[in-house]
Amino acid sequence: MAEEKEPMFSPKNIKLLTNPINVDNPITKQVLGICSALAVTVKLEPAIVMSLSVLVVLSFGNVIISFMRNGIPSRIRIIVQLVVIAALVILVDQVLKAYAYNVSKQLSVFVGLIITNCIIMGRFEAFAMTNKPWPSFLDGLGNAFGYAWILVAVAFFRELFGTGSLMGLQIIPDSFYEIGYVNNGLVLLPPMALFAVATIIWVQRSRNKDLVED
């Protein structure tokens, strides 16, 4: 009996891509990858670069692990996964240093910390170890997008209200400042990232009651 070939974008595969963006979001539902999510969101630009880096590492890492999944002895799989991640992260880091040196300086240790970003380990363990390369790739993309939109949303608000600009361009017109508008310095402080994510969680869970914990 010939195995039925699944189309590239079957409904199941589409779900892999879209689920993590909302209901199964890596940050607000699976609680993965919080560390870096909060620390790089003061400005929009590093947040976008960070999201792209995670996107690259997660989707390619998922594919690589998925290709190797039958050859990895389960006792040493953590080490194998770490080596794959570390190699990819070194590549990303070198590319950033070469082409976006300023952003790479701003991200400082957080590029390196993608290695221990639990999103990546979590998806390797939960998905790539048991699935074929193509669905793994989609799963990686979906989760990276789920991670990215939270980062970008938080960074958007923090940069807009904290400095009055986006991507370094001034958005709030000078006339606002003349009539007494003041940038909110509190938004730039680390704790505000936590409040922003908490608000996203709050909104998301009140719209979708299934996500509520008790």
Interface ranges with other proteins (CB under 8 A): 28, 31-39, 78-79, 82-83, 86-87, 89-90, 93-94, 108-109, 112-113, 115-118, 121, 189-195, 197-198, 201-206, 211-214
Q: Residue 72 or 86: which CB sits closer to other proteins?
A: 86
Q: Measured from the CB of residue 203, what is the shortest distance to other proteins in angstroms?
A: 8
Q: Measured from the CB of residue 44, what is the shortest distance to other proteins in angstroms?
A: 18
Q: Measured from the CB of residue 12, what is the shortest distance to other proteins in angstroms?
A: 28
Q: Measured from the CB of residue 58, what is the shortest distance to other proteins in angstroms?
A: 15
Q: Residue 4 or 210: which CB sits closer to other proteins?
A: 210
Residue that is written with structure tokens 């993590």 in the block: 20
Instruction: Give the up-direction half-sphere exposure of residue 22: CA atoms within 13 A in the CB hemisphere.
Output: 8
Q: Residue 174 or 214: which CB sits closer to other proteins?
A: 214
Q: Residue 13 or 30: which CB sits closer to other proteins?
A: 30
Q: Residue 172 or 201: which CB sits closer to other proteins?
A: 201
Q: Is the separation of the CB atoms in 136 and 127 below 8 Å?
A: yes
Q: Measured from the CB of residue 208, what is the shortest distance to other proteins in angstroms?
A: 9
Report the alpha-carbon distance of residue 114 to residue 54 in Å, rounded. Answer: 7
Closest CA to 48 of 142, 166, 165, 139: 166
Q: Residue 160 or 211: which CB sits closer to other proteins?
A: 211
Q: Measured from the CB of residue 190, what is the shortest distance to other proteins in angstroms?
A: 6
